[in-house]
Amino acid sequence: MILTNRWAVLALLCYVRVVMGLQLQAVSALAPLIQVDLRIDYTDLGVLVGLFMLPGIPLAIPGGVLATRLGDKPVIVLALAMMTAGSAVFGLTDSYAAAFAGRLFAGTGSVLLMVLLPKVGADWFSRRELGFATGLLIACWPFGIAVELVVLPFLADWFAWRGAIFVTALASGIALVLILLCYRSPPNAVAPAARRLWVISRHEIGLVIGPSVLWLLTNMGFMILLAFTPLLLVERGMSVAMAGTQTSWATLLPILSYPFFGWLLGRVGHEKVFVVLGTVLSAVPFLLLPLGGLAWLWLALYGAIYPATTVTVITLVTFLLSPQSRATGLGIFYSFCYVGLAAGPVVAGYVVDMTGSISIAIWLGGAVWLLMAPAVLLVRNPERVRGFST
């Protein structure tokens, strides 16, 4: 059955985003079990977490160019096939080298999806609906992360950590079948044969750079929090399952706050205000979490607030790019994102190995978030971007 209703298409895209979240943080959710079984240190563990996003550094831009030339559906199918195969390899492994290869292969598929899904969503929705639709689409990624933080540790209790990884491979295989059977491009889409490989102008590149720097910092801090909070809580005496459940608060509340902030942004504008307030308030939980107290409360505060920043940045980028340059421009945008996603856990893991303190790694994530407040000055007059607040 081919989907023709834009909201049905959005629902399918949302499921794919959930699968991406499941696979992204699978290592973090199962970190204590994987670390013991594979006999690796914190730096190696951070590499496995960040490796899922590492291919985005060299491949985000070529991925956007590839979609421009071949079309969206073939590249999405390829991406899901790579995620399924890579996760299966990771689940079968008994060595760090094989785990490395599996995560790298699955991460390459994730790169293509990360670039394409916002682009596909923007192709299906008008300006008035795009903020809300983008918020819904983005919310499904933290939802997937929340599900795996809660569910995978329990599955690992029954089937060991490898069995839990196979569940994520099955989920991506289902997404692959659904895309093959149900998705088509919107009626007004530009035919792949009519597209040039490089279609973005210098002016559009200049507009993309500022939001891209914000996106790098956002994702670096986000990954530090998700990768090392479970370890901090286990160090305090929690079980692996309970630590995952507590950490999931940071990814559960965005399911609601992403659509809310997307809706609110479309009505009030003031993009830089959204970014600065969201940045400063989101850094507070990083500072409080290592001090003790109610961990779930600090994580819930973070999850409720940080989408104000991220939905603003992503919506802005999809508006300022023309339909013809959207895939290439988002490739540039997400190349910055992947630097942050890959570097955050690795840098924080190195800090833990050098200092012996997981708390310092969490504070490092808060410092990264605070850097976004001055970095908003790099955004070039977003209030004047075509169609954004008129």
pLDDT tens string 17-73: 999 988 887 887 788 888 888 888 877 887 887 777 777 777 778 877 777 777 788
191: in domain: no
371: in domain: yes
| pLDDT above 50 (res 387) | no
What percentage of the chain has pLDDT greater than the value 90? Answer: 17
For residue 94, give the CATH number of its domain: 1.20.1250.20
Q: How confident is the model at residue 166 (pLDDT cuts 50, 70, 90)?
A: very high
pLDDT tens string 272-287: 788 888 889 999 989 9
Q: How confident is the model at residue 390 (pLDDT cuts 50, 70, 90)?
A: very low
pLDDT tens string 238-265: 887 788 778 878 877 888 888 888 888 7
Q: What is the 3-state secondary structure (H, E, C) of the chain?
A: CCCCCHHHHHHHHHHHHHHHHHHHCHHHHCHHHHHHHHCCCHHHHHHHHHHCCCCHHHHHHHHHHHHHHHCHHHHHHHHHHHHHHHHHHHHHCCCHHHHHHHHHHHHHHHHHHHHHHHHHHHHHCCHHHHHHHHHHHHHHHHHHHHHHHHHHHHHHHHHHHHHHHHHHHHHHHHHHHHHHHHCCCCCCCCCHHHCCCCCCCHHHHHHHHHHHHHHHHHHHHHHHHHHHHHHHHHHCCCCHHHHHHHHCHHHHCHHHHHHHHHHHHHHHCCHHHHHHHHHHHHHHHHHHHHHCCCHHHHHHHHHHHCHHHHHHHHHHHHHHCCCCCHHHHHHHHHHHHHHHHHHHHHHHHHHHHHHCCHHHHHHHHHHHHHCHHHHHHHCCCHHHCCCCCC
Number of structural domains found in the chain: 1
Q: pLDDT value at position 236?
A: 85
10: in domain: yes
Q: pLDDT value at position 85?
A: 95
What percentage of the chain has pLDDT greater than the value 70? Answer: 93
390: in domain: no
192: in domain: no
Q: How confident is the model at residue 388 (pLDDT cuts 50, 70, 90)?
A: very low
| pLDDT above 70 (res 180) | yes
Q: How confident is the model at residue 292 (pLDDT cuts 50, 70, 90)?
A: confident
299: in domain: yes
Contact 146, 28 (CB under 8 A): no
Host domain of residue 215: 6-186+197-384
More confident: 381 or 301: 301
Mean residue pLDDT of the chain comes to: 83
